[in-house]
Amino acid sequence: MLKLHRLNALRKTKLQLLQHLTANQENPSLNYSTAPDDKDFLHRSILRTDHFQASLPRLPVPELEDTLKKYLESQRQILTDAEYDQTVDIVNKFKATDGPDLQKRLVAKDKQNKHTSYVTKPWFDMYLKSRLPIVLNYNPFISFQDDPRPEYQNQLIRSTNMIVSSLKFMKTLRANILEPDIFHLNPAKSDNMRFRKVMRMIPSSIAFYGAYMYKAFPLDMSQYKNLFNSTRIPRPGKDELVVDKDAKHLLVMRNGNFYMFDVLDSKGNILEPEVIMSCVHQVMKDPSPPSPHPVGVFTAENRDTWAMYRDKLIGLGNEETLKLIDSAVFTLCLEDDQPTDPNDVTRKFLHGEAGRIWFDKSLSLILTGSGNACVNFEHAWGDGVAVLRYFNEVFANSIDKSVVHPSTDVPANAGNVRKLEFKLDQEMKDNVEQSVKKFNTTVQSLDVDHLEYQKYTKSYVKKSGMGPDSLMQLAIQMAYYRQYKGTVATYESCSTSAFKHGRTETIRPATAETKRACMLFVDDHPIPSTEELKNAMLACSKKHGTLTRNAAMGKGFDRHLFGLKTLVEEEGGRVPELFTDPAYQKLNHIILSTSTVSSPAILIGGFAPVTPDGFGVGYSIEDSRIGFNVTSYPPARNAPGFIECVTKSLDDIYLERDVNSFNYKSNIENYMYSGGNGKQGFSSINRTEDFINWLNTTFISTMYPVKNYANKNLKVQEKRMFRDDASVRVRPAQLRQLRTVPAAYCSVKKITWPYPCVHGYEKEFADAAEYCAGWKPLDLNCAAYTNQKSRFTAGAWKYTDAESIWGTPKTGEYGTYDGGGYILRFTKDKDKGQLLIKDMIEQNWIDRQTRAIFLEFTLYNANSNLFVHAIFLTEFLETGGLTKWTEIQAFRPILISDSIGNLKAFCYITFIIYILITTTKVVFKIKINGCSFFTHPWNLVTIFSIFLGYTSVSVYIVRTIFAKKAMKLFYDKLLTQEDKFINFNHIIIWDNIFNAVFATLVFLSTLQLLNILGYNKRFTQIISVVVNAGSDIGGFGFIFLIIYVMFVILGTLLFGVQLRDYRDFFSTCGTLANSFIGKNNLKSMVSAVPTFAEFFYFMYMFCVIMTLITIFAAILNQSISNVNASLNIEYNKLGMKFYISKTIKDILGMVFKTETDHKPNVTKGNLYRNNASADSETFDVLHLLSRSLHQTIDRRDEKTYEKYIESGKRESNGDVFESSKDDSERMATDTERNVYKHDKRVHFDDIILAYIYSICDGDNVLANVFDDDTER
């Protein structure tokens, strides 16, 4: 009966599984669309979207003891000693009185609501009950990266593609076939089809635990239902979230006007993309002026005020209009302007202009006139997890599966666009105007700044042992500490979506570890060691990791205390002193509100501070950069100053082998190239207008600062500093232009170009004439005209040759340019610099003949005795457009008399002495060996190293002479107050030459270690393999070169016009070489030349990568076999142990000289030991003579060898024995020949070494070689 019962139970379980699978397959939701294919969906997941929802674990209620302990730990960092002691007493009192009872009631309530978490409803109510305006206080934004295809970066095309992708996401979600959110701890094990098939067979009630066995953690998706057709309705006291899934229309806002059109048909299918595109186009082309009374501004009002206005609007007959707005799938906001500065983009997407965004909508998609896109979302309904999933899916689908293209024709008047009009009386119009004024006042009080920092990458930080998020939080803490000398309440949100209905928990990044690190990095005290700083950072990372894990697992303290406090308020009881304590209010008065959402699809994101005296810090760390977006309300807080402090903190944390030089260079790049300080960076210049704008904003404000990071006016001397307040300008900067002369008028067939042709820059076409202002021909009135019309650029119309300004040719991204040019010199005055740029624009200094403009300047940092010479080159191409190139190099023109300078001087002197000694030794060896010395490869390496040594010394002397001349000119102009640019570039060139020569010298010196390793038998074998295969490798290399060059030429011709990586021969060489390590750009090749790309790629991979590389490996394998075969012949080779031990004994013999009474036994193997006191130079001579004798013996002819055999005697280790004729015959082998040579070497070694020592030591030890019983 027991077996039968088990069998029935097993059958029942199988039946349940089959019913479960059948239900999935027959689920009508899978046929949600009547479309003939899957064009309406992103994908069809084999796992239902809500498959894991029922089995998700519930958010735990933490233990009261743990919560209070963590609470005090966090309070300790922001309270004074007295405040903390008082708070400890209050916490202990709460723990002994009110706390345990409140905890029991909260646990009991949680058990009564097992369908949700104990914090879900209070958290929703916290948002919905807040009466603050939701704009700036709650709504954040996330901006999309640009479309990688420039032709698709168009407002109409991109908005249409994003609308369709959003609708696909919505339909896939509602059809329950959207892939569930799962965090894969081991993606290789769980993020695959096998995992999904196994999970599909597990019932939903236990599916989470099945995924847990794979180390995969499904996430809560309950918030997704509020993404679409959702809005927040203002109500007195508490707002309401409303969803209307039946609506099929889209809301579009433009210039404060409202439009709507259907995007789904009556059956729920997505309308044709061309129809949607036509509707968007009609809205874009609507000539209606901006709405004089933009009702949308009411959504930025106080919530009770907006609730009152809404009721009045309904009373005026606008109920249907409001219903259409509330029920729309989402809102599309179209903006006409095209902001490029990141700060302007933040303002546009965070708050925009009054009435341009309906902030109550759960989801608003905003697109600017240039195609930049973002999502602005209302925060009450959900958090970043759901929005980020939508964000990533829409970004990828709109690019990978675009439904409209630049070639798509826009149908005329397809679809049914309806403009919505509000009925307003005079009172409501007045209310709108008041709300607009209030809105403008509020947003104008907000300050915004950003930072893009490129020293760090996510992988770099991980390799250093720190968590990426912990590093960012440490930088934020250090920035605030540097700016305000304190530690304050800090908030970082952490998702708890691993639990059912999970929202967020708070991470408190201000810890004892971060406070200690801030003090070590910022405070004035004895400089801590690198190890101490590193340990401090690692401690911060470890602590932050613990806090993050606790928060993600629901074990933080903020939500627990929030739940306890809310329970008291709901029950109407007495509020415990813990929640009325000023320390509790201080901890929840968030000064540093931080949040991060990382994704390759995100360009920038941000939000406003949550308190008037706080910062809103959005940040991200990606594979290529770090980004910060900071907001504040001045004068309470200063966002640009905070950004500067963040930059300095990141610089302090960053460790590099050449800290000073590298950081100095990177600092300049951050300000000028990357666009620090909220200004346009040099890297973003693509047009002449961008270049002018960069000069007017970034360059002027950075080179001529007026206020410091604290927004205080600088003193006169401080205004000579660079923007970082750490470097001083070494004379003003200059602009140097290179031009070409015009050629004949262009004419191709019947097409006539009205201007002369202008070639690219070449020496023969270079313009060096003198002009009047505006490039007018030189005449008698020129000087007067120039002084009148162009007094700030009067000297910029005359060519200055390279020699007079120490100019040197420079090669940029596109061409090579002379060191002279038409020079426009800045002054030390900011106002004159701005007038100079204005004058330059008015006089058309940049025209069709301009081919290159160099911006050159020099800075000096006394703290590190470092100069930096910066060149920002803009090349104007003859094809139109421009390219950019930069060179920023730090250098020290002179040594200073500090510990480092003295050490360097000592090293230089030691190096020169070493070169002289080595030269003497080599000359002595050449004198002894003659021409045979040059037959040994290592001797040639030594000679070349000596040559490089003298070359480096010569270059350094020349560089020092030029540096002194430049510094003398600098000092002279400093005394005469002459305000002209000084060119230090020639010092940089000599520096680079010196570094190259010296680096080669170090390389060769290191290479000579192989000579020492040559004493090792195994290493000799490796060298022998290469030598043995030399001829084959040479032939292979020649064939490889021909085939490789063939593919380089073919690739250049095929793709050179379309792809930058193939633009010329050398670029193609580098691109194809990258394929050896697995890097390829097949996708871009196919896009450029779809007909030949795949054929070219396949042939290259087959011929070069597969065939030729295999041949090369075969050559080396054959050589290895040959060498191994030849090693069957034994030979006597000194080993590494002997060499090392001998060297040590030689050194000890030189230090500790010992006297011996008896005569040394000078025989083979003992001679060196008996004369250990000899000078090391003597040993070198002996080795040279020994090697020469070896070479002589090796060249002995066969007659000598035959005489040796006939003698019948062979000497070995000092013994003499007779050899029979049979023995003599047996010796006539290669092995015996080697033994013969070895023995003769030993014999002559003994004689010559004894002879040399008799000369060097004054003792005739020659007789010791001859034994009475040995005849030699």
Q: What is the 3-state secondary structure (H, E, C) of 297-353?
A: HHHHCCHHHHHHHHHHHHHCCCHHHHHHHHHCCCEEEECCCCCCCHHHHHHHHHCCC
The pLDDT-based confidence of 663 (bands split at 50, 70, 90) is: low
249 a catalytic residue:
no
Per-residue pLDDT at 558: 95
Cite the DSSP H helix spans in 977-1016.
985-1007, 1009-1013
Per-residue pLDDT at 753: 63
Burial of 1235 (0-12, 13-18, 19+ CB in 10 A): middle
Per-residue pLDDT at 1106: 79
Q: 1010 or 1106, which is more confident?
A: 1106
Question: Which strand (E) or helix (H) includes residue 729?
Answer: strand 728-729
The number of residues in the chain equals: 1272
The pLDDT-based confidence of 23 (bands split at 50, 70, 90) is: very low
Instruction: Confirm whether residue 842 is marked as ligand binding.
Output: no
From 76-85, 676-685, 890-899, 910-919, the region with the lowest mean pLDDT: 890-899
DSSP state of 119: T
> 735: helix, coil or strand?
strand
Q: 328 or 600, which is more confident?
A: 328
Distance (Å, whole) CA 407 – CA 303: 46
Distance (Å, whole) CA 152 – CA 346: 22
Cβ atoms 1135, 1015 nearer than 8 A: yes
Query: pTM for this one?
Result: 0.57
- What mean pLDDT value characterizes the chain? 79
Distance (Å, whole) CA 800 – CA 822: 6
Per-residue pLDDT at 602: 92
What backbone torsions phi and psi does residue 15 show, to the nearest 5 degrees?
-65, -40
> What does R_g of the chain's alpha carbons equal in angstroms?
40
Per-residue pLDDT at 607: 95
In this model, does residue 813 exceed pLDDT 50? yes
Burial of 1144 (0-12, 13-18, 19+ CB in 10 A): exposed
| pLDDT tens digit sequence for 913-958 | 888 888 888 888 888 888 888 877 778 888 888 888 888 888 888 8
- For the record, the structure tokens of 519 come out as 């003090």
Q: How many CB atoms lie within 10 A of CB 1042?
A: 9
- For the record, the structure tokens of 179 come out as 């892939």
Distance (Å, whole) CA 1103 – CA 1046: 11
Q: 828 or 236, which is more confident?
A: 236
From 128-142, 613-627, 986-1000, the region with the lowest mean pLDDT: 986-1000
Where residue 374 falls (left for φ over 0; alpha for ψ -120 to 50; beta otherwise) is: beta
The pLDDT-based confidence of 109 (bands split at 50, 70, 90) is: very high
DSSP state of 812: -
Q: 1204 or 699, which is more confident?
A: 699
Cβ atoms 539, 502 nearer than 8 A: no
| pLDDT tens digit sequence for 201-224 | 999 999 999 999 999 999 999 999
Where residue 930 falls (left for φ over 0; alpha for ψ -120 to 50; beta otherwise) is: left
Per-residue pLDDT at 1163: 40
**400-418 mean pLDDT:** 91
- For the record, the structure tokens of 1011 come out as 């000579």
The pLDDT-based confidence of 77 (bands split at 50, 70, 90) is: very high
Q: 785 or 298, which is more confident?
A: 298
The pLDDT-based confidence of 128 (bands split at 50, 70, 90) is: very high
Distance (Å, whole) CA 387 – CA 128: 19
The pLDDT-based confidence of 1231 (bands split at 50, 70, 90) is: very low
Q: What angle do CA 1220, 1223, 1226 make, to 5 degrees?
A: 155
Per-residue CA distances from 885 to 340, 685, 874, 876 (Å): 21, 11, 7, 12
- For the record, the structure tokens of 228 come out as 């679409």
Distance (Å, whole) CA 357 – CA 359: 6
> 140: helix, coil or strand?
coil
From 252-261, 523-532, 621-630, the region with the lowest mean pLDDT: 523-532
The pLDDT-based confidence of 727 (bands split at 50, 70, 90) is: confident
Rounded to a whole number of angstroms, the distance between the first and last alpha carbons of the chain is 107
Per-residue pLDDT at 1003: 77
Which residues fall within 8 angstroms of residue 800, CB to CB, at 6 or more apart? 820, 821, 822, 823
Share of the chain residues as helix, strand and coil, in percent rounded to the nearest 5: 55, 15, 35
Which residues fall within 8 angstroms of residue 588, CB to CB, at 6 or more apart? 489
Per-residue pLDDT at 788: 58
Per-residue pLDDT at 697: 83
Distance (Å, whole) CA 578 – CA 599: 40
Per-residue pLDDT at 760: 83
What is the percent of the chain with per-residue pLDDT over 90, rounded to a whole number?
41
In this model, does residue 1016 exceed pLDDT 70? no
The pLDDT-based confidence of 1179 (bands split at 50, 70, 90) is: very low
**610-630 mean pLDDT:** 90
The pLDDT-based confidence of 746 (bands split at 50, 70, 90) is: low
- For the record, the structure tokens of 725 come out as 């307040």
In this model, does residue 125 exceed pLDDT 90? yes
In this model, does residue 796 exceed pLDDT 60? yes
The catalytic residue among 20, 293, 379, 936 is 379
**1040-1066 mean pLDDT:** 79
Cβ atoms 822, 799 nearer than 8 A: yes
Per-residue pLDDT at 1204: 41
Cite the DSSP H helix spans in 638-746.
639-653, 659-668, 688-694, 700-703
The pLDDT-based confidence of 894 (bands split at 50, 70, 90) is: low
In this model, does residue 1129 exceed pLDDT 70? no
Which of 133, 208, 299, 130 has its CA nearest to residue 498? 208
In this model, does residue 1165 exceed pLDDT 60? no
Per-residue CA distances from 1227 to 1034, 1131, 1146 (Å): 38, 15, 37
Cβ atoms 266, 34 nearer than 8 A: no
User: Which of the given ranges, 624-628, 689-693, 1268-1272, has the highest pLDDT on average?
Assistant: 689-693
In this model, does residue 608 exceed pLDDT 90? yes
Distance (Å, whole) CA 744 – CA 879: 17
Which of 477, 457, 635, 469 has its CA nearest to residue 546? 469
User: Which of the given ranges, 615-624, 745-754, 1066-1075, has the highest pLDDT on average?
Assistant: 615-624
What is the percent of the chain with per-residue pLDDT over 70, rounded to a whole number?
76
Per-residue pLDDT at 527: 66
Per-residue pLDDT at 860: 80
User: Which of the given ranges, 72-76, 894-898, 1011-1015, 1123-1127, has the highest pLDDT on average?
Assistant: 72-76
Per-residue pLDDT at 262: 96
**783-787 mean pLDDT:** 60
In this model, does residue 27 exceed pLDDT 80? no
Cβ atoms 925, 942 nearer than 8 A: no
